[in-house]
Structure 1
Amino acid sequence: MRLPILLVLLAAPVTASAGDTVLEPGEYEVEMRLELPYVEDMGVQKTARVCLTGGGSRGIVVLSENNPLVRCPVSNVSQEADELTFDLVCEGHNQAVARAKFRLRHDRFDGAFDMKMGGKNMTMTERQKGRRVGACKDAPHSQ
């Protein structure tokens, strides 16, 4: 299954210290699972390949399809040791918002986007586990 590759570029400065974990740039295979409250098995699981080139949190994105948060700016970026947090806040009234919390290792990451889909008053969580599989190809792709 093909997923659009949309990279979130962090324009906001990252609050970090010298002991923080840096995610190695490269191609990552990311397992994604979408969870909705009170729904036991939605069956929404995907694997995608993304090219993370910015180090730190640059490139970690929402991967669920038709999600407005892939176009929303990143804010409140913070990293302490191996824990990275940031917000995605779409502009306008009753728009989507998300709080991201990820644990970084040199060659892998795992975490979640806790999302509220604005006017729909719908909440969900997108859980991700990514592992580095090599250098980025010429053109990033997904599967």
Structure 2
Amino acid sequence: MLVIGQPARADEALEPGRYAVEVRLELPHLDDMTARKVADLCLAGEAGAPNPGFAVLSDNNPLAHCPISNLRRDGAELTFDIACEGRNAASASARYVLSPGAFRGRIAMRMGGKNMTMTEVQAGRRTGPCAGPAPGAR
């Protein structure tokens, strides 16, 4: 389990670097069947960077490569929407709370025509600087 620090003040930014991200899917009515994994992600945390690199990280998820829109940063909170193109396409709403060396986030996903919903829960902690592209980085 990852320990997350206190939320950042409005003048603090996410520290750039490599993050170990615990990823868990919450599926309605399937509490004991949730998929879990740890992903390695390289994030940019420069002031003014709209999205430091957050994305859907669960395996075989159509939202992993869909565009982000409506990006908003309010102090330590980062929110955005994800929408795939096409009729009955998947969509999602994301909310992250950032601190200099850690973050936590929830991505509420709707799988389009399948009428299926799930939530990806992420908790990340900085493990060091990025040394080239991180495996699985998006």
Partner Cα separation in structure 2 for residue 25 and residue 42 of structure 1: 33
What letter is aligned with 1:73? P
Superposition RMSD in Å:
1.6
Q: What residue number does 1:42 align with?
A: 33
Separation in 2, partners of 1:127, 1:19: 23
Deviations 1:76-128 (Å, cap 9, x if unpaired)?
01111111100001111100000000100011100110000011110000000
Q: Distance in 2 between matches of 1:73 and 1:63?
A: 14
Identity of aligned residues (%): 51
Q: Please, which of 20, 26, 43 is the counterpart of residue 17 of structure 2?
A: 26
- The DSSP-based 3-state class of the residue aligned with 2:33 is coil
TM-score by length of 2: 0.84
The alpha carbon displacement at 1:137 in A equals: 1.6
Paired position in structure 2 for 1:62: 56
Q: How many residue pairs align between the two structures?
A: 125
Unaligned runs of 5+ in 2: 1-8
| Normalised TM-score (structure 1) | 0.82
Correspondence 1:100 to 2:94: yes
Unaligned runs of 5+ in 1: 1-17
Q: Which residue is equivalent to 2:107?
A: 113
Report the equivalent of 1:51: 42
